[in-house]
Structures are given as structure tokens and as C-alpha cells.
Chains A and B, each alone.
Chain A
Amino acid sequence: DIQMTQSPASLSASLGETVTIECRASEDIYNGLAWYQQKPGKSPQLLIYNANSLHTGVPSRFSGSGSGTQYSLKINSLQSEDVASYFCQQYYNYPTFGGGTKLELK
């Protein structure tokens, strides 16, 4: 299995701030990476696929980057509705998820 290590596990940021979440794969996943947002009591929602492609309807303040084993999700100008947990997932091989990052407002 490809292991996905996500950091940080939790994050506190202020409105308007830029936030970055990292994900490291145990081997090269050739941009086969997605990011999801999950609000409390809700199902995950796709934000980014293929490491840097924005899913339909996702605000442009979300962006993804990276290659090889290192990937990141950036949220520009943090909004209150961005408070959620975020998960990375690789699909180069059988899908595996990162442990998640819980984002809160400072």
C-alpha cells in the first residue's frame, strides 16, 4: 500500500489568511492525488484532482500543487465556510487517504 502522511493534523488560522496543508506519499504517485473537504456531519467533497485541477464549482481560492511524493493544498484568503477537515487521497495505486487536517478559525 502507498502510505499518505498529511500535515499538520490540526491548524488554526485567521480570516483572510493563507493556509497550506501538506501531503507526502511513500512513493511516487505521478500526480494521482486528490484533496477533499469534509464539514462536520457531512460527506467529503472533492476540491482538487490530478494534484492541481479544480473540481467544478470549487472557489478559486483553493489550489493544489506538487509532484512526485510531495503535494500541497493552499487556501488563499481564508473564509469562515472553509472551517472543515481536509483529506488528501492518492489513486495512483489502490486508493489510500491521508490522516486529515482539521482547520479551525483563530
Chain B
Amino acid sequence: EVKLVESGGGLVQPGRSLKLSCAASGFSFNDYWMGWVRQAPGKGLEWIGEINQDSSTINYTPSLKDKFTISRDNAQNTLYLQMSKLGSEDTAIYYCARERVSFDYWGQGVMVTVSS
């Protein structure tokens, strides 16, 4: 069974940084592109970015390119999202997802709240 479990969310002050993790199991992690998607409360879905199997290609949505960094550790079957200079607009549920043409499996999501 494909399983993706995000962690590392919580309450963070504006301007601070936070790193999310996504633990993958049930499939060969190093065979897939992986991505991050977020959803602000009551809003739609926003693609953050993606990373290929060997981390040689990483793509971001332009508006987040200078704030967020995606990485992965294939030995640990884990995907990461490093977020910096956080603002209230970054308050959202953050999902990791496996990419196979589209996003075929998603984690349960982790809430990040940016507030003083």
C-alpha cells in the first residue's frame, strides 16, 4: 500500500523558517518524481514544486522559488520542504504527493500556521 506521511508542521512566527518531511512507504521511492502542494484554509490547491528521482531536476512555482527548497533522501525514503521567510500567506495544509503523470497518491497533509 502506498503511504505518504507528512510531519513537521505547526505554529511558526512570521519571518521564521520551518522544514516539513514526508515519509514514503509501499513503493519504490527512488523511481518517482515527488511534489508538494498546499491548500490555504477554505481555498483551492496550489502547486509548490517537484523533484525528480535523483534530485537533478527541481522545479518550483515562480512565486515561491526564492522561499522554498525541495529535497529528498532516497536512502531514507523521505521528501523534504524547507520553507523560509514565512508570512501569513503561507498558512495552509501542505501535502506531499507522488507524481506519475499526475499526482496519483497524496499524504494526509500537515498544517502550517504562521502567526505571532
Contact = CB atoms under 8 A, between A and B. Distances in A.
A94 B64 CA distance: 13
Interface residues of B, number: 20
A44 B95 contact: yes
B44 A49 contact: no
B44 A97 contact: yes
Interface of A: prevailing SS: loop
Contacts of A91: 101-102
B32 interface: no
Interface string B31-46: 0000101000000111
A94 B47 contact: yes
B107 interface: yes
Contact of B101 (A36, A50, A87, A100): A50
Interface in A23-82: 34, 36, 42-46, 49-50, 55
Nearest to B98: A46
Contacts, number: 50
Interface string B72-111: 0000000000000000000000010000011111111100
Contacts of A42: 108
Interface string A71-106: 000000000000000010101001111111000000
B102 A43 contact: no
Contacts of A97: 44-47
- CB-CB nearest 3 A-B residue pairs: A34-B102, A95-B47, A43-B106
Given A44-B45, A96-B47, 9 more contacts: A34-B101, A34-B102, A34-B103, A43-B95, A44-B37, A45-B106, A50-B101, A87-B45, A95-B35
28 contacts: A1-B62, A34-B101, A36-B103, A42-B108, A43-B107, A43-B108, A43-B109, A44-B37, A44-B45, A44-B103, A44-B106, A45-B106, A46-B102, A46-B103, A46-B105, A49-B102, A87-B44, A87-B45, A89-B45, A91-B101, A94-B61, A96-B47, A97-B44, A97-B46, A97-B47, A98-B44, A99-B44, A100-B44
